[in-house]
Structure 1
Amino acid sequence: MRAPLPTHHSVVVIGGGQAGLSASYHLKRHGIDHVVFEKNRIAHTWRSQRWDAFCLVTPNWQCQLPDFPYAGSEPHGFMPREEIVAYVEAFARRTGVPVREGVAVTRVARRDEGFLVETSEGHVTADAVILAVSAYHIPKIPAMAAGAPKGIVQIHSSAYKNPDQLPSGKILVIGSGQSGCQIAEDLHLAGRTVHLVVGSAPRCPRFYRGRDAVDWLDDLGQYEMTVEDHPLGEKVRGNANHYLTGRGGGRDIDLRRFANEGMVLHGRLTGIENGRLTLADDLARNLDAADAVYNGICALIDRHIAEKGIIAPEGAHYSPVWQPGEPVRSLDVEAADITGIIWSTGFRSDWSWVDLPFLDETGYPAHRRGVTDVQGLYVIGMPWLWTWGSGRFLSVGRDADFVVDHLAALRANEMGSTPARMAV
């Protein structure tokens, strides 16, 4: 039986993933009393919301949690799901995180000069709160899903595990972001016939001119570009990730090649009514746009190589291996022998349990580099919190360091002392 929950902590961290654990690491360095609440288990999302064949899209060397970089034998490999979970758990053990698993936070509100945190184990107060719960809270399935035929199996991509969980027949995957494309590939490699609804997500080469494209982009400083320096500004946070995979040692995902091999590609889904899909006439445009981004990345790398005088193998830009024919604008699900639908349509945020005025007009946390306008309230672990690497193992530790430094300075100012750092 574990010890009762203390009634007060200097800092409450909510979320036991890599962001919350990184915050705990830096809080310990500063000698700041804190607790980490995780409503499930450490690394829950990696453990339960990824399919069986899942592996990292970014190379292992980008796993750089604070003072705990990847130390395995394959820095340019791609860890499978079980190894990702083991990496996060090992970091938690090494850090000695004061985490309380199985404790759900149900409300955060103001309390005098600090905060009231209501949990499934009781209420505590805190001087500061760090929200380390990302922005992906509730699987998003459009209301149009109700128009699918009765008896069709429908799941969200976060619930997909493997092809065997789906009934025999053809499978419709809706959404061509990273998850949608990789799940479509997983089904395709298992010999299933896949219908894929293709959206506007861009794609990226896996390897180009002798190296992983991620290595080249890192050399170019792309992962260090801040949200304030990006041409799109804060709008970049809404961009879809490029699709590619680390599976099988890493490779491109080429939807045109899949089409040559029997995958059926469609334009965007605009509606489902009485078991019939309505599809947009934008497949060719979406494929062309994804390929344009792919070749744009190749061109960026070419310029870098030329400007720096780097000796590298020649590389060919992508040329389409397949072109769509007459678009299918309407498809009867049952007549097409589609027995299952996977909605790879992302997530929506749910901040309803945070009873504080910290959201902007769009419902997104208003912050600068994780520091909100509510004094003592912070957010970390979100895509493009500060840089492209913020939502990855690469930079989440640095974001946590900045946030905790800000928090420690605020505490020191209030107490009239100098913030101290302690070794972990």
Structure 2
Amino acid sequence: MMLGDITRGLRGHPVRPPESGMSRRKSVWTKLRIDPWILLLLLVLMGAGLLVLYSASGQRLETVIAQATRFGLGLVVLMVLARLSPTTLLRWAPLLYGAALAMLIAVEVMGDMGMGAQRWLVIPGVVRFQPSELMKLAMPMMLAAYLCRRELPPKWTDLLVCGLIMAIPVLLIARQPDLGTSLLVICAAVFVILLAGLSWRFIAFLVALAGAALPLLWINMHNYQRQRVLTFLNPESDPLGAGWNIIQSTTAIGSGGLLGKGWLQGTQSQLEFLPERHTDFIVAVLGEEFGLVGMLVVLTLYLLVIVRGLWLANAAQDCFGRLLAGSIVLTFFIYVFVNVGMVSGILPVVGVPLPLVSYGGTSSVTLLAGFGILMSIHAHRRLLPR
């Protein structure tokens, strides 16, 4: 302390200790409404993703630059949303849901085709994006906004309204067809409803009802979707056709061994045996080139993000924040679990990318936006009256 500080202390005035570098850093994070731990973990995941993507894309630098640009846009969206109060998000929830629903209807009418699916909207000369990705955030926000104004646990009438809110966009997404995204939207909605306090008896009833509806789901699935399920049960039944993806991905992961073949040294990926290696099957590239150790490192990063996210969600001080934050984190877990499960052969292939590692524009921005909302809910809790 300076001499003047000591003098003020002797005169009876409080002495303010010198501000440390850590305190200054904390004040910066507080002003930005950013959780530094989650931000650091996300940045490391994005860096690892760009490293693997360079190899998976056939060493095309333009692909990596495009992905990095989307990450940059996503981080800007994250920081903007983190500064918005949960009260603002609550007011915007119906508007965001309505806009996302309107865009899904626009996709149905005039959407752009790609790889046999009609999933994209195109603004000429500006952007090409998937409105279904926006529904991954709009759906839990809308349900959380609806339920937080009702008595919890929700009554039958409230559950029927939630079912209607959920059914229309899910059916529109399934018609594109996009089974993976429709399942993720369903998960985001179901997590909000479960966190609202359903009894285990009612949950068991819903599980039984879903099981009874499986034959109806099977009848309404597209032929390629049925083939994916049959291939999951027995990939060797069509090794050169429908089973090719799973066989090649498991072969790539297995051939990586403990430490992998080395960056850019994978045979299944570099010789193009592995399909969709820069999107849905990028885990196979990771396993082949970096081995079991590399996969465990990346999975540990995901685990740390999920644990930290659940801690932030648990610290939320209002109903809307708890429901929305919990749904965002648990849906992120489903992203990781389903992608790793389908690539390793323990789940059917449903077209779910590995978050922040697989190549994708709208998906990456939406994921980072979700974490921005999570940070907003946590940061603004300090401003609520205790």
Higher strand share: 1
TM-score when normalising by structure 2? 0.28
TM-score when normalising by structure 1? 0.26
